Structures are given as structure tokens and as C-alpha cells.
Amino acid sequence: MAKYLDVHPENPQPRAIAEAVRLLRDGGLIVYPTDSCYALGCLPGNSEGLERIRTIRQLDSRHHFTLVCRDLAQLGQFVRLENAVFRAVRAATPGGYTFILPASKEAPRRVLHPKRRTVGVRVPEHPVVQALLAALDEPLLSSTLLLPDQDEPLTQGWEIKERLDHVVEAVLDSGDCGTVPTTVVDFSEGEPEIVRRGAGDPDRFA
């Protein structure tokens, strides 16, 4: 049965964050809020957690998982950024964007696209996930909480717990954080390509 952690959306309680961190470090999979809807997350080294995300969302091997990072410095450890791309990414973080970029040697192999050797990365603005990332001092391997039978991500913590009670270790509920996922920008070839229009303004990359 999943733990239900009621977390203040602007001033997350340290005890709740510490409990979520403990569960993640014990190999757990959690649901947590972001600035562009709820997401599933585990530690990057958790291969079982990754497979559980695949099962919950019914994803194939071509799906781009995301490394959710605390800041641009942490993001830069896992991807290769040319100067022009770095400036564009810096101007849009933190915020509702996911960037697909060539992976660096430090990127966990299990999160790479199997053919393109790319990885999705983002820096969110939401105070709860920022507190979580600060306490972890490492990224979260993540995917939007969009269930196969749903047209939009779930937004209510009680409903998420009800649906996923026996397949995740915790649900961090900080209220409705929207149903619009991130705008996805592919920089893997150097020039921006809008893969998905979402929470972030795509016009800045047009």
C-alpha cells in the first residue's frame, strides 16, 4: 500500500520530503508534483523502478525517459551542450520544458534512447520537486503520470493513490498542478525541433 504524503505546495514539510527520499533510496517508485502535472519518479540507478514505470504506462523501448534535475549545473553533467544550445536551455530553465539532447558519458545508459543515444532532461520550478531534488542531491528518472486508459494526466492525489496504491511506494499530494505536460524541444541535431507543445511557450524556439 502506497504512503500518502500531504505536502504543502509552497513550503513542503521537511519530514514529508525526508520520507520520500528514504523510500526512493530504498528502491521505491513515487508519484510527485511538478510545474506541469504529476509524474512517476525513481532514482536513475533503479532498473526495477524504470521497468515498473514502463509497465504502469505501457511504454515501449523507444520512449524517452527524463532526468529531472535540480538546476542547470546538474543537468549539464548528463548531456552535451554546444554554446548556442546552452544559452537557449539556460534562458528557459527552470520551467515547463523537456530538452532532448545528446547524452554525456555520465548519463545512465538505461535512460538513453536505444538508437539515438539521447536523453530527455528538465529543470522544474515546483517547490516540492525542488525540495526533493535538493535533499536527494541527484536527479530523478521520471515520466509524466499519464495512464494508458486516460486522455489527460491525473490531478487529484486521492485518485492517484486509489489507482496506483499497490504499484508505487508513495504519493506526494500538493494539490492540483495541472494537466498540461512539458513542451518537448529536441536539440539533438543542434537546431530546435518542437516535438510536443505543452506548458512552456514553444514560440521562443520557433
Strand partners, 42: 141
Can you tell me the distance from the alpha carbon of 196 to that of 179, in angstroms, rounded to the nearest whole number?
14
> 141-200, pLDDT tens digit by residue?
999 999 998 888 888 899 999 999 999 999 999 999 889 999 999 999 989 999 999 999
Cis ω for the linkage preceding 94 (within 30 of 0): yes
H/E stretch holding 121 = strand 118-122
CA dist list (Å): 120 to 26, 69, 98, 202: 24, 11, 6, 16
Predicted local confidence at residue 68, as pLDDT: 98
Sequence-distant (≥ 6) Cβ neighbours of residue 204 within 8 angstroms:
91, 92
Predicted local confidence at residue 115, as pLDDT: 80
At residue 52, φ and ψ (nearest 5 deg) are -65, -40
Predicted local confidence at residue 185, as pLDDT: 97
Predicted local confidence at residue 58, as pLDDT: 94
User: Could you give the domains of the chain?
Assistant: 3-205 (3.90.870.10)
Q: What is the Cα 36 distance to its own chain's centre?
A: 10
Q: Which amino acid is at 72?
A: L
Residues in the chain where the model's pLDDT stays below 50: none
Predicted local confidence at residue 111, as pLDDT: 84
Can you tell me the distance from the alpha carbon of 134 to that of 128, in angstroms, rounded to the nearest whole number?
10
H/E stretch holding 37 = strand 37-42
Can you tell me the distance from the alpha carbon of 173 to that of 9, in angstroms, rounded to the nearest whole number?
8
Can you tell me the distance from the alpha carbon of 90 to that of 152, in angstroms, rounded to the nearest whole number?
29
Q: Could you count the other beta carbons within 10 Å of the beta carbon of residue 132? A: 27
Predicted TM-score (pTM) of the model is 0.94
Take residue 198 and report the three cell numbers written for it.
505543452
